[in-house]
């Protein structure tokens, strides 16, 4: 049985827009990381990775996830079904990154350097994989 998701269709124009958005967010996240602005860094890394995942889904499935569940969003990305080990690691990383979204945005404490480092490094690896494979023509 195929799982039903709330999605929004897209094509090449939308994929390019999501990659551009991801690049802008990543650039600012990197600056925030250097400046030790850990809350801003974490939030921007998370949203940069979500934008890249959206672009990859549009490329492979013609749509992106449009629901509200973080777990479903990661599952929709996983359902791209690529069999290579790098993709499986990227799914794990996306899950870890998105799992931090609520804490980073709404948590009652500020992000620590250690926590931001975890998010940033996972984001860097996720980003590198996608831009070297699925989204190569957009980087």
Summarised one tens digit per residue, pLDDT across range 74-116 is 999 999 989 899 999 999 999 999 999 999 999 999 999 999 9
Q: What is the pLDDT of residue 2?
A: 63
Cα–Cα distance between 120 and 114 in angstroms, integer?
Answer: 10
Question: Does the pLDDT at position 7 exceed 70?
Answer: yes
What is the domain count for the chain? 1
Q: Give dist(CA 92, CA 78) in Å, integer.
A: 9
What pLDDT does 85 receive? 95
Domain assignment present for 3: no
Is 33 contained in some domain? yes
**Is residue 36 domain-resident?**
yes
pLDDT at 1: 45
CATH number at residue 36: 1.20.120.330
Residues 22/49, Cβ–Cβ less than 8 Å: yes
Is 4 among the domain residues?
no
Which residue range is the domain that position 90 belongs to?
Answer: 9-138
Q: Examine residue 108 and state whether it is found in any structural domain, yes or no.
A: yes
Closest CA to 30 of 133, 91, 105, 119: 119
Question: How many Cβ atoms sit within 10 Å of the Cβ of residue 93?
Answer: 20
The pLDDT score that the predictor gives to residue 3 is 79
Query: Residue 9: enclosing H or E segment and its boundaries?
Result: strand 7-9
Q: Is residue 113 part of a domain?
A: yes
Q: What is the pLDDT of residue 81?
A: 87
1 inside domain: no
């Amino acid at each position: 049985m195929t799982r039903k998701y709330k999605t929004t269709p897209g094509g090449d124009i939308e994929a390019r827009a999501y990659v551009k958005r991801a690049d802008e967010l990543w650039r600012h996240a990197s600056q925030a990381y250097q400046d030790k602005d850990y809350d801003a860094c974490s939030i921007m890394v998370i949203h940069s990775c979500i934008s890249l995942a959206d672009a990859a889904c549009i490329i492979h499935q013609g749509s992106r996830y449009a629901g509200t569940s973080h777990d479903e969003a990661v599952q929709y990305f996983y359902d791209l079904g690529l069999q290579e080990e790098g993709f499986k690691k990227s799914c794990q990383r996306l899950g870890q990154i998105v799992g931090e979204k609520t804490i980073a945005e709404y948590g009652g404490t500020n992000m620590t350097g250690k926590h931001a480092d975890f998010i940033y490094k996972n984001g860097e690896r996720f980003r590198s994989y996608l831009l070297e494979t699925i989204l190569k023509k957009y980087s």
